[in-house]
Amino acid sequence: MEYMIARQPILDASLRVMGYELLFRNTSRTMPEGRSATLSVIHNTLFGFNFSKICANKLAFINFTKDVLEEKFYEILPKNQTVIELLEDIELTDAFVEKCREAQKAGYQLALDDVVSADRCVKLKGIVSIVKIDIQQVSVENRQALVKQLLDWGFKVLAEKVETRQEFTELKKMGVTLFQGFFFQRPVIFTCKALPSRIISNYSLFIKSRDFNIEELEQTIKTDPALLIGLLKFTNSVSFDMSEKITKIRHALLLLGQNNFRRWLLGFQTAQANSVSQVVIQNAVVRAHFCEEIALMLKLDESMTENAYLCGLFSLMNVAFETTLQEIVKAIPLDDLVFQTLIKGKGLLGCILQIVISYEFSDVSSVDDLLDKLDLDWDQLTVMYLRAINKSQYTTDV
């Protein structure tokens, strides 16, 4: 499975790119209902791609349905880069306008999409900063009056669906300062491979639960590489102004808090598993628990034991992602010791990981050498392997 998203540039009058509209795309020809499409764009942007890179450190215009805005999903997006684009079919009730005001006061820019009449903008003066006019739906005769009215009310005007140089030149003369359309560039599709999750069936339990049980969540996330990678990538994204790298699950959960974790997890539901990668994930979880068991037997401290677990877990991600391990670990916020172990395989953690891999491949000679180094024996190793299988529960969780 792949994450997929499209982006189309938004330019100023000097043809400098000021931002991108992020658009829903998938491999099927069907378009989901608005809420699903919006959550998919948010999820794919945060989980599949690096937010700053997909937007080239510029503004990201993201379509919001009424309910997605009311549920404040924008709070998991970086306020300095996000423009909340209100869809044209939203009824602008007083209650909804107040919700828009809350988003604006929280530091987010808002844009109103597909405007063809200034009347629709009246209630949103002082709240929405950008009005997008669909020039293909507004006659040439009426464009000037519409643009003038919007400018007089203090809105920035973004002309969308600009298809010719003549349209661009005329709109610029009217005072339009932002532009989007096929004349400049068609939407460009980006894809990246998605890592499947093992516990999609459990998402509703977490989303609906009012309890934010850190211990329970931590244990569940530990056994799911997709959740773990997504959580670490997200909490280390531009959404959070953190000077230190977040490498621990507990730290990430505490930083997110209950509401933002639920919002992120709901977006995560769009992830789907495929059978080939699922087998790889199962093996990775067994490796992780095997490394953890050895660390516990060696009486390593809590931090080293967790790092041993992570080394085992991520040691197969290159197979799941069908890329190099170097590319995987560079994209994931990991402790430096884990990073060095996975790349260079040296030190105590490297020795633990190597004995796990050698045991897995029945490389008796290598296992013998490594057992001597760790002062362990075959009987202990076999017991630890059986414990790892039992802890991973991979025979029942699929």
pLDDT of residue 45: 78
The SS3 of residue 22 is strand
Encode pLDDT of 341-383 as tens digits.
999 888 999 999 999 999 999 899 999 999 999 999 999 999 9
The pLDDT of residue 41 is: 85
Q: Which two tokens stand for residue 79?
A: 């306020």
Alpha helices, DSSP H only, in the chain? 34-43, 51-54, 66-70, 94-105, 140-152, 165-174, 203-208, 214-222, 225-235, 249-268, 275-297, 302-314, 317-321, 325-331, 336-344, 347-360, 364-374, 378-392
294-315 residues labelled b (16+ CB within 10 A) or e (exposed): bbebbebeeebbbbbbbbbbbb
In this prediction, residues 232-254 reach a mean pLDDT of 73
The answer to whether residue 225 scores a pLDDT higher than 80 is no
CA distance 59 to 161: 19
pLDDT in tens, 10-42: 999 999 999 999 998 876 666 567 777 888 788
Of 115 and 217, more confident: 115
pLDDT category at 106 given cuts 50, 70, 90 is very high
Domains and CATH numbers, the chain: 2-191 (3.20.20.450), 195-268 (no CATH), 275-392 (no CATH)
User: What pLDDT band is residue 295 in, cutting at 50, 70 and 90?
Assistant: very high
Of 81-90, 206-215, 242-251, the range with the highest mean pLDDT is 81-90
d(CA 229, CA 249): 10
Burial 12-26 (b: 16+ CB within 10 A, else e): eeeeeebbbbbbbbb
Asked if residue 256 has pLDDT above 70, the reply is yes
| Among 397, 223, 382, CA closest to 312 | 223
Token pair for residue 58?
Answer: 């510029």
Average pLDDT in the 228-235 region?
A: 77
Which pLDDT does position 271 carry in this prediction?
A: 41
> What is the per-residue pLDDT for 207?
42
| CA neighbor of 9 nearest in space, from 142, 251, 181 | 181
Of the candidates 297, 306, 290, 299, the one whose C-alpha atom is nearest the C-alpha of residue 387 is 290
Are 80 and 47 within 8 A, CB to CB?
no
| pLDDT given for residue 26 in this prediction | 76
- Give the best-scoring range by mean pLDDT among 211-225, 310-324, 345-359: 345-359
Nearest one of 393, 343, 392, 347 to 374, comparing CA atoms = 347
What is the per-residue DSSP string for 286-312?
HHHHHHHHHHHHTT--HHHHHHHHHHH
Report the C-alpha gap between 128 and 180 in whole angstroms.
Answer: 18
Which of 72-81, 252-261, 361-370 has the largest mean confidence? 361-370
pLDDT for 208 beyond 70: no
What phi and psi, each to the nearest 5 degrees, are found at residue 63? -65, 135
Q: What is the pLDDT of residue 221?
A: 78
* pLDDT mean across residues, the chain: 83
* pLDDT, tens digit (0-9, with 9 covering 90-100), for 5-18: 899 999 999 999 99
With a threshold of 0.75, does the pTM exceed it? no
Question: Taking the CB of residue 353, how many other CB atoms lie within 10 A of it?
Answer: 23
Residue 204 pLDDT class (50, 70, 90 cuts): very low
Q: Tell how strand 2-12 and strand 188-193 pair up.
A: antiparallel
pLDDT given for residue 1 in this prediction: 57
293-300 mean pLDDT: 95
Answer yes or no: is pLDDT of 270 > 60. Answer: no
